[in-house]
């Protein structure tokens, strides 16, 4: 018995064992004892995770896949969460323990997975896995790149990001239309954002909503004082700003008395 791929669940099963093993190896295993795999499907990645020193848990929305896993991975049965990752509260399953995240992620919800991980970053020391290449690049690229944007800045504010390798469509069943990319996120330890987080998110999102405009124009809705808007940083476009510069911009806006 195997599971037939369901398109609406973003199911593209990996059929290349070597790549599955390389993805499993993308977690370092340092500093945590729990790993949560999102979307294990038929367990191609899971079986390599189960050989590691940490404890592997999986979360899978598709009940056919859950049945398959229960039948084929007997020692995993008690650690299968049959739910939607986007809807769970991690503390319900892991208390206040740290848990690393991994997966060959369902591409239809990949950005939502990243944003959920960022929200829960205090609990997630490491996060690695496979995305559409374009999304992987968007997370990993630095300022100056065409795909540098909201996700790059928000992720890199809290994590160091490494683009590890590219995977062609041919190793999946069914093959996706695009290349895939594997990345690793390592949380910056003992780091707190030195500015108000909500304001930081707002500045980054507002700036990139009009990415061709200078900040002087795109940030008009933030009601900044004339003197602040004279600052040279406002002559730049968002894709020219490093993460550090977005933080210092937010700090200036925080201190701005209109
Ligand atoms: N890891 C497997 C399957 C990858 S396909 C492999 O590499 O072969 C993506 C998997 O994510 C599918 O099994 C799909 O059912 C599951 N999935 C989709 N949406 C999900 C969600 N919201 N929460 C948990 N799992 C989900």
Would you say residue 208 lies in a domain? yes
Would you say residue 171 lies in a domain? yes
Task: Note the pLDDT of residue 258.
Answer: 56
Nearest Cα residue to atom 19 of ligand 1: 9
Please check whether residues 15 and 120 belong to one and the same domain. yes
For residue 148, the CA-to-ligand 1 centroid distance in Å is: 27
Domain boundary among 141, 169, 187: 187
Q: Whole domain around residue 106: which residue ranges?
A: 3-187
Residues 167-191 pLDDT 10s? 999 999 999 999 999 999 999 999 9
From CA 203, how far away is CA 217, in angstroms rounded? 13
Task: Note the pLDDT of residue 2.
Answer: 86
Segment 36-50 mean pLDDT: 98
Give the pair of three-digit tokens for residue 117: 């991980």
Nearest Cα residue to atom 20 of ligand 1: 61
Would you say residue 111 lies in a domain? yes
Nearest Cα residue to atom 10 of ligand 1: 39
Would you say residue 192 lies in a domain? no
Please check whether residues 172 and 221 belong to one and the same domain. no
**Which letter, b or e, does each residue of 121-137 get, where b requires 16 or more Cβ atoms within 10 Å of its Cβ?**
bebbbbbbbbbbbebbb
Would you say residue 140 lies in a domain? yes
Please check whether residues 121 and 246 belong to one and the same domain. no
Long-range contacts of 110-114 (CB under 8 A, 24+ apart): 110/135, 111/135, 111/151, 112/86, 113/38, 113/85, 113/86, 114/139, 114/151, 114/155
- Residue 157, pLDDT > 90, answer yes
Please check whether residues 86 and 203 belong to one and the same domain. no
CATH at residue 51 = 3.40.50.150
Domain boundary among 133, 152, 187: 187
Q: Which atom of ligand 1 lies nearest, measured to the CA of 37? A: 1
For residue 244, the CA-to-ligand 1 centroid distance in Å is: 35
Please check whether residues 90 and 167 belong to one and the same domain. yes
Domain boundary among 158, 187, 216: 187
- Residue 257, pLDDT > 90, answer no
Total domains in the fold of the chain: 2
Question: Global pTM?
Answer: 0.96
Please check whether residues 109 and 201 belong to one and the same domain. no
Phi, psi of 120 (to 5 degrees): -100, 20
Task: Note the pLDDT of residue 40.
Answer: 98
Long-range contacts of 63-69 (CB under 8 A, 24+ apart): 64/3, 64/4, 65/3, 65/40, 65/41, 68/1, 68/2, 68/3, 68/42, 68/43, 69/40, 69/42, 69/43
């Amino acid at each position: 018995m195997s599971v037939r791929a369901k398109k609406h669940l973003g199911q593209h099963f990996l059929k290349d064992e070597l790549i599955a093993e390389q993805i499993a190896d993308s977690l370092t295993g340092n500093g945590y004892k729990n790993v949560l795999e999102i979307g294990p499907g038929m367990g191609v990645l899971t079986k390599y995770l189960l050989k590691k020193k940490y404890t592997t848990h999986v979360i899978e929305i598709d009940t056919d896949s859950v049945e398959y896993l229960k039948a084929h991975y007997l020692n995993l049965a008690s650690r299968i969460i049959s739910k939607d990752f986007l809807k769970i509260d991690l503390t319900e399953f892991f208390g206040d323990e740290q848990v690393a995240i991994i997966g060959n992620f369902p591409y239809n919800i990949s950005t939502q997975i990243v944003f959920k991980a960022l929200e829960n970053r205090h609990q997630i020391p490491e996060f690695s896995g496979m995305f559409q290449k374009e999304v992987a690049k968007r997370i990993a690229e630095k300022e100056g790149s065409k795909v540098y944007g909201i996700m790059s800045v928000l992720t890199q504010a809290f994590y160091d990001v490494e683009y590890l390798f590219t995977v062609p469509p041919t190793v999946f069943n069914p093959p996706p239309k695009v290349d895939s990319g594997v990345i690793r996120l390592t949380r910056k330890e003992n780091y707190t954002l030195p500015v108000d987080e909500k304001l930081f998110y707002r500045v980054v999102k507002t700036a990139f909503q009009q990415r061709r405009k200078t900040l002087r124009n795109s940030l008009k809705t933030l009601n900044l004082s004339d003197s602040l808007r004279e600052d040279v940083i406002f002559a730049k476009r968002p894709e020219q700003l490093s993460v550090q510069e977005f933080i210092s911009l937010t700090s200036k806006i925080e201190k701005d008395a209109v």
